[in-house]
Amino acid sequence: MFQHLLVPTDGSRLSLAAAAAACRFAREAGARLTVLNVRANAPLGLTYGAGEWIQPSTLQEIEDVGREASQRALAEVMSLAAEEGVEAASESVVNDSPSEAILAAADRHGCDLIFMASHGRRGLTGLLIGSQTQRVLAQAKQPVLVFR
């Protein structure tokens, strides 16, 4: 049925639980995984304008912390996949729109299912910040399995 799952992770407990479920699902289906972490660009708005707000060395530190957090999140899921005996690859991308990056990765890697968590933000919070999962659901060419 499904042969290649895209599993986005942000390192949260919920995304880790979704990834564990995705690993079990992949094992049962005989599928492989591509694990994706999307991190934001450095806050350029803080460096341009009337004056420099953040030193360049601080920006590098921010990027380093983001890269390290991304690698930790990916390593956790790769470990889960190994425990389940599931073939997996990982990718870290920089994009200010996680949903855009998820959709592009699913297409780029030829994934036939996106298996992702939803934080389930509702009400005003959901309206203001939007739901990356909702955006993926609305625009994906592939089926999307939402874990909550």
CATH of the domain at 36: 3.40.50.620
Identify which of 43, 12, 47, 2 has the alpha carbon closest to the alpha carbon of residue 148: 12
Distance CA 23, CA 120 (A): 22
Question: What is the pTM for the complete model shown?
Answer: 0.87
Q: Tell me which H or E stretch contains 5.
A: strand 4-8
125 lies in some domain: no
79 lies in some domain: yes
34 lies in some domain: yes
Widest CA span in the chain: 57
Decide if 32 contacts 3 (C-beta within 8 A). Answer: yes
138 lies in some domain: no
124 lies in some domain: no
pLDDT tens column, 22-49:
999 999 999 999 999 999 887 655 555 5
74 lies in some domain: yes
In Å, how far are 11, 41, 46, 82, 141 from 132, measured between CA atoms? 15, 17, 25, 27, 15
123 lies in some domain: no
- Please state, for a pLDDT cut of 90, what percent of the chain lies above it: 72
Average pLDDT on 1-5 reads: 97
Tell which phi-psi region holds residue 130, choosing left (phi > 0), alpha (psi between -120 and 50) or beta.
left
Q: Which domain holds residue 28?
A: 4-112
Give 57's pLDDT tier (boundaries 50, 70, 90): confident
- Is the pLDDT assigned to residue 7 strictly greater than 90? yes
Query: What's the domain count of the chain?
Result: 1
55 lies in some domain: yes
Decide if 133 contacts 116 (C-beta within 8 A). Answer: yes
